[in-house]
Amino acid sequence: MVALAGRFAPSPSGPLHLGSLLAALGSYLQARAQGAQWYLRIDDLDTPRVQPGAERAILDALVHFGLVWDGPVLRQSSRREAYRRAIRWLKRHGHAFDCGCTRREAQDGTHGIEGPVYPGTCRGGLPDGREPRSVRFIVDSRVRAVNDHVQGVYTQRLDRDIGDFVIRRADGITAYQLATILDDHEQGVSEVIRGADLLSSTPRQIALYDAFDWAPPAYGHLPILVDAGGEKLGKSTGALALESHAPGAQLYRCLVLLGQDPPPAFQTASVARVLAWATDNWSLERVPATAQMTL
Ligand code: GLU
């Protein structure tokens, strides 16, 4: 039997905020309530967005909130060779192709759910005189269904909704969609609990698992926290600073948002007590099945 494992995969583009604490706590509790491993991965591939000191701040904050991970931290920046091998494999097996289109040219197709659908220009081979810029994954017309443990059934037809998508960007960086599945597979992650802003990425990730003939993990997408203007909480949109002097109270607040109905006495309890109660009483079914919650 495959051991159960969950993970939290923050990008070190800023410190932990209430929205990312919510995702960390939800994935931690879902793993720990099942006696599973809980891993930490740092998504530091997109180097222009990496902020010096952010990784340290995230790790310290997780420890402060009692969310202690198993094993070594996996950094995407240490996995570049594995990504290169996987891209070669996908190209050799007819799942991916070199694309010479500029961003403008790639936008000449119909409109999908996240923007233009790639028109297919380089799918059959690079046109004469074109240099490879990016690498794209070939999608098909199957309906991809995610049976999400929080949001319910979510479907996409990748050819119509997304199009052949980039797995290596023109700047040479492996795209998130591919890196995340290679890393989740490497760490033996069997259940991915993360923010609902990534639900629309999941059919692409399932298609990649299929190409490698690997079983995808189970998924649960937690509501993300947005401000009154509908913006995702984050550094750039005025994230609330975590009040580090009252970590138990912040965890309590997250548990309320996650629908767990913690006893009010926990507002002043220690991190250890809140987490012990939350692990014993955790129920993913009680998490609101909405994509967003306004704070
Ligand atoms: N690094 C991504 C983020 O911070 C999350 C990736 C994932 O959970 O798959 O939004």
Which of 20, 74, 180 most suits a substitution to test ligand 1, by most atoms within 8 Å of the C-beta?
180
- 50 & 190 share domain: yes
- 208 found inside a domain: no
- 43 & 105 share domain: no
* Closest C-alpha among 83, 8, 96 to residue 46: 83
Spatial distance between the Cα atoms of 235 and 243, rounded to a whole number of angstroms = 15
- 62 & 185 share domain: yes
CATH number for the domain harbouring residue 98: 3.90.800.10
- 204 found inside a domain: no
- 155 & 248 share domain: no
Segment 144-157, tens digit of pLDDT: 999 999 999 999 99
Segment 99-136, tens digit of pLDDT: 999 988 888 879 999 999 999 999 999 999 999 999 99
Cβ partners under 8 Å of residue 218, min gap 6: 149, 190, 191, 192
Q: Under a CB-based contact definition with an 8 Å cutoff, are residues 141 and 160 in contact? A: yes
> Which one-letter amino acid corresponds to residue 234?
G
Q: Reduce the DSSP state of residue 172 to 3 states and report it.
A: coil
Spatial distance between the Cα atoms of 218 and 216, rounded to a whole number of angstroms = 7
- 148 & 287 share domain: no
The minimum-distance atom of ligand 1 relative to the CA of 197 is 10
Cβ partners under 8 Å of residue 187, min gap 6: 5, 7, 39, 41, 74
- 99 & 160 share domain: yes
Residue 187 CB less than 6 A away from ligand 1: no
- 215 found inside a domain: no
Spatial strand order in the sheet of 165-168: 96-99, 134-137, 165-168
Predicted pLDDT of residue 249: 92
- 71 & 185 share domain: yes
- 207 found inside a domain: no
- 141 & 238 share domain: no
CATH number for the domain harbouring residue 46: 3.40.50.620
Query: Would you place residue 230 in the very low, low, confident or very high pLDDT band (cuts 50, 70, 90)?
Result: confident
Predicted pLDDT of residue 72: 97
Q: How far is the CA of 246 from the centre of ligand 1 (A)?
A: 26
Burial class (CB in 10 A: 0-12, 13-18, 19+), 21: buried
In this prediction the pTM is 0.95
Number of domains in the chain: 2
- 253 & 107 share domain: no
User: End-to-end distance of the chain based on CA atoms, in angstroms?
Assistant: 41
Instruction: Inform me whether the pLDDT recorded for 185 exceeds 80.
Output: yes
Segment 67-97, tens digit of pLDDT: 999 999 999 999 999 999 999 999 999 999 9
Cβ atoms < 10 Å from Cβ of 39: 23
Predicted pLDDT of residue 1: 40
- 89 & 64 share domain: no
Cβ atoms < 10 Å from Cβ of 124: 8
Predicted pLDDT of residue 233: 80
Q: How far is the CA of 131 from the centre of ligand 1 (A)?
A: 31
- 14 found inside a domain: yes
Instruction: Inform me whether the pLDDT recorded for 228 exceeds 70.
Output: yes
Spatial distance between the Cα atoms of 29 and 208, rounded to a whole number of angstroms = 27
In which domain, by residue range, is 57 found?
A: 5-76+180-197+220-294
